[in-house]
Amino acid sequence: MMAAETTAKSSTMRLGMCEVCAAKEARYACPKCEVKTCSLPCVQIHKKELSCDGQRDRTKFVPLSEMTAREFMSDYCFLEECTRYAENRKSDQCKRFTHDQRNLPVAQHRMQTAAKKRNIQLRLQLANFSRHKENTTYLNWKLGRFYWRVEWLFANIPIEANSGDVARFVDARCDEQVVLSDLILKYIDLQQETARDHRKLLANHQTAGIGQLSFWLRAEGVRRSSTRCYPLEAAKTLADNLSGKTIVEFPTIFVTYEPKPPGGHEAVDSGEELEEEPPESKPGKSVKASSIAEDLDEPHDVYHELAAAFAGDDVSEPEDDEEFEALYREHVEL
Given a contact cutoff of 8 angstroms between Cβ atoms, the answer to whether 68 and 62 are in contact is no
**Per-residue CA distances from 193 to 116, 151, 210, 306 (Å):** 36, 19, 17, 79
Q: Is the pLDDT of residue 274 over 90?
A: no
Predicted local distance difference test score (pLDDT) of residue 317: 47
Residue in 7, 34, 38 with CA at minimum distance from that of residue 23:
38
Instruction: Specify the 3-state DSSP secondary structure of 113.
Output: helix
332 vs 309: CA distance, rounded Å = 16
- Cα pseudo-dihedral 252, 253, 254, 256, rounded to 10: -170
Do the beta carbons of residue 136 and residue 111 sit within 8 Å?
Answer: no
Percent of the chain with pLDDT over 90: 27
Backbone torsions φ then ψ of 148, nearest 5 degrees: -80, 145
Strands 214-218 and 228-232: antiparallel
- Residue with more model confidence, 16 or 91: 16
Alpha carbon of 7 to those of 11, 15, 24, 277: distances in Å? 6, 13, 18, 73
Ranking 84-98, 135-149, 238-252 by mean pLDDT, the lowest is 84-98
How confident is the model at residue 174, as a pLDDT?
A: 92
- Tell me how far apart the alpha carbons of residues 265 and 267 are, in angstroms, rounded to a whole number: 7
- pLDDT of 311 strictly over 70: no
Residue 175 phi/psi, 5-degree rounding, is -65, 130
Give the residue-averaged pLDDT of 205-228.
89
Cβ(241)–Cβ(119) below 8 Å: no
- Which string of DSSP letters, residue by residue, matches 200-252? TTTHHHHHH-GGG-EEEEEP-SBTTGGGEEEEE-TTSBHHHHHTT-EEESS-E
For residue 228, give the nearest of 261, 180, 277 by alpha carbon: 261
Q: Which of 61-75, 112-126, 138-152, 177-191 has the lowest mean pLDDT?
A: 61-75
Reported pTM: 0.55
292-308: pLDDT as tens digits: 444 444 444 444 454 45
Q: Which residues contact 77 (CB under 8 A, 6 or more apart)?
A: none
What are the chain's domains? Answer: 14-90 (no CATH), 107-267 (3.10.20.90)
Is residue 254's pLDDT more than 90? Answer: yes
What value does the mean pLDDT of the chain take? 78
Position 77, amino acid: C
So what's the pLDDT on residue 330?
Answer: 59
Contact 191, 199 (CB under 8 A): no
Host H or E run for residue 306 = helix 287-309
Over range 20-48, report the average pLDDT. Answer: 89
CA-closest candidate to residue 262, choices 149, 196, 168: 168
Query: Residue 133's closest CA among 245, 250, 253?
Result: 250
* DSSP character at residue 101: -
pLDDT at 321: 53
- Contacts by 230-235 with C-beta closer than 8 Å and gap 24+? 230/267, 230/268, 231/261, 231/267, 232/180, 233/180, 234/179, 234/180, 234/181, 234/184, 234/210, 235/179, 235/180, 235/181
